[in-house]
Amino acid sequence: MSGVWGAGGPRCQAALAVLASLCRARPPPLGLDVETCRSFELQPPERSPSAADAGTSVSLLALVVIVCGVALVAVFLFLFWKLCWMPWRNKEASSPSSANPPLEALQSPSSRGNMADKLKDPSTLGFLEAAVKISHTSPDIPAEVQMSVKEHIMRHTRLQRQTTEPASSTRHTSFKRHLPRQMHVSSVDYGNELPPAAEQPTSIGRIKPELYKQKSVDGEEAKSEAAKSCGKINFSLRYDYESETLIVRILKAFDLPAKDFCGSSDPYVKIYLLPDRKCKLQTRVHRKTLNPTFDENFHFPVPYEELADRKLHLSVFDFDRFSRHDMIGEVILDNLFEASDLSRETSIWKDIQYATSESVDLGEIMFSLCYLPTAGRLTLTVIKCRNLKAMDITGYSDPYVKVSLLCDGRRLKKKKTTIKKNTLNPVYNEAIIFDIPPENMDQVSLLISVMDYDRVGHNEIIGVCRVGINAEGLGRDHWNEMLAYPRKPIAHWHSLVEVKKSFKEGNPRL
């Protein structure tokens, strides 16, 4: 009974409810005082413990749902920022001419090979594993977005590797700046790359401009004329020690080309002992023959000590009575001691070289070349010149030497020596230095120009010579010898030629 009528029993609660309804009636029933009802109404009714527990559970469940929803929204926003916003912003920041390959290039076989090679890096694998996990948990991410993520990771890795590459020498910066765009030297990559055979692109389907170059008609004609036989000439040399005279005997010529309409020629020979062109001797003219016999002696007074610096020049002409004489060819004997010591008469046969005009002796220049591969420094030392052509009225010249560094016909740099006044045999002994990286030595050449200084007007070119891998004759041999013996000065005499004969490809700007 105590449990039913207790403070929390059901009957007690029902009694309290009846009493509350009676107090709310107006007027209150007999036996109920107004003060008693007011004090009873001020007491709060007690709630059922079951209803309070149910309200607390509902509020906690709502709070958990809200927290989970906010967490899911935050995860979604983070994935969207990582996968979509960051690659899009990087693409917008990069210019169209950027060196980064497009999506199609990334999907090519060669790019796949490079990517597979770069994936060997442990740091790169860590990034890619995270990206793969994200793609597995988010199957709705498109393939383009996944490729953008990989591209961003690769670019980040490449930038990290480039920061560890060695910087090139600052002395070669100016040289690389002047190089053509296709010849700029890239920095050395010490990373794991594909073998050289795999890096070389195939030439199938590629246009080769050199196949479409139109060959010069004049060049073909000159080659055909040069290949044409101009015959041979027979002469002998002997030196008379008593009179200090060089005796040149022109014996005969054989198989000369026909210059007249009748199928014959009227040949004769001019003889010079260079560098002196003032003393010119000449044989008689032999009419209508292609195999003349001259048998004439010519005397040149010259000391024996100077014979080593002299050259014998024979020019064969066809005589024309009413027009200019036609030149058949020429023979130049650089070394008079080629056959013997000239103490006795020695017969010499030489092929007549094709020529349209007499060669002019412009003189010679002596210089040395020395290359230091470790420092990338090329030193050209101009030593002296001899027997230069007189350019002034006084019979002398004011020569100086200008050296130009060329690359594909373009002049990159030029340097000069001092001017030597009133001389045809100047002595300089001046060094000229160029900074050239070792990897560019096969792409450059040097043009050595001997100039005559004029106070009024333009300076005149006496003659030029060229040295380099693409030069001809002694110029190429001198360059190769310098490369074969680094850190050692190699000196040679070079004959000066006219500007139009110094290059095959054409004349650069002087």
Please write the tens of the pLDDT for every residue from 326-359: 888 888 888 888 877 788 888 889 888 887 766 6
Amino acid at 253: A
Average pLDDT over residues 7-35: 69
Q: What is the pLDDT of residues 357-409, one digit of tens each?
A: 666 678 899 999 999 999 999 999 999 998 888 888 888 899 999 999 998 87
pLDDT of residue 218: 47
Q: What is the pLDDT of residue 376?
A: 92
- Comparing 178 with 432, the larger pLDDT belongs to 432
What string of DSSP letters covers 50-76?
Answer: HHHHHHHHHHHHHHHHHHHHHHHHHHH
Encoded amino acid at 97, one letter = S
pTM of the model: 0.45
Residue 491's pLDDT is 94
Q: Which amino acid is located at 473 in the chain?
A: G
Position 383 scores a pLDDT of 95
Least confident stretch, 162-171, 342-351, 461-470:
162-171
Q: How far apart are CA 351 and CA 89, in angstroms?
A: 76
Name the range with the highest mean pLDDT among 45-54, 202-211, 308-317, 419-428: 419-428
Least-confidence region, from 27-36, 213-222, 240-249, 373-382: 213-222
CA distances from 440 to 145, 184, 268, 407 (A): 43, 10, 51, 9
- Which pLDDT value is given to residue 16? 75
DSSP state, residue 229: -
pLDDT band at 321 (very low <50, low <70, confident <90, very high): confident
490 has a pLDDT exceeding 90? yes
Among 5-9, 82-86, 221-225, 447-451, where is mean pLDDT lowest?
A: 221-225
What local confidence, expressed as pLDDT, does residue 94 receive? Answer: 56
pLDDT over 80 at 93, yes or no: no
Location of structure tokens 């740099």: 413
Rounded Cα–Cα distance for residues 482 and 488 (Å): 7
* Res 274: pLDDT: 81
Tally the residues of the chain: 510
* Cβ pair 434, 467 in contact under 8 A: no
pLDDT (mean) for 164-193: 52
Rounded to whole angstroms, the Cα distance separating 462 from 358 reads 17
Please write the tens of the pLDDT for every residue from 133-147. 444 444 455 666 667
Residue 114: which residues within 8 A CB-CB, separation 6 or more? Answer: 194
Percent over 70 (pLDDT), the chain: 62
Report pLDDT digits (tens) over 179-238: 655 444 443 444 444 444 444 444 454 555 555 444 444 445 544 554 456 889 999 999
Q: Whole-number mean pLDDT of the chain? A: 75
Residues 6+ apart with CB under 8 A from 260: 266, 288, 318
Share of the chain above pLDDT 90, in %: 28
pLDDT surpasses 80 at 159: no
Residues 6+ apart with CB under 8 A from 445: 406, 407, 466, 467, 468, 469, 470, 471, 479
Report how far residue 266's alpha carbon sits from residue 317's, in angstroms, rounded to the nearest whole number. 8
Query: 415: pLDDT confidence band, cut at 50, 70 and 90?
Result: very high
Q: Identify the band that residue 100 occupies on the pLDDT scale cut at 50, 70 and 90.
A: very low
Q: Is pLDDT at 306 greater than 70 in this prediction?
A: yes
203: three-class secondary structure by DSSP: coil
Sign of the torsion angle spanned by Cα atoms 120, 123, 129, 131:
negative
List the Cα angle 454/456/458 in 5-degree steps.
60
- DSSP states along 400-429: EEEEEEEETTEEEEEEE-----S-SS-EEE
Q: How far is CA 207 from CA 187, 204, 429, in A?
A: 28, 9, 49
Asked whether residue 467 carries a pLDDT value surpassing 60, the answer given is yes
- Could you read off the pLDDT of 47-87 as tens digits, one per residue? 555 555 677 888 888 889 999 999 999 998 888 887 877 66
Question: What pLDDT does residue 21 have?
Answer: 75
Statement: residue 160 has pLDDT above 50: yes
Flag the least confident range among 112-121, 368-377, 418-427, 456-465.
112-121
pLDDT of res. 135: 44
SS3 364: strand
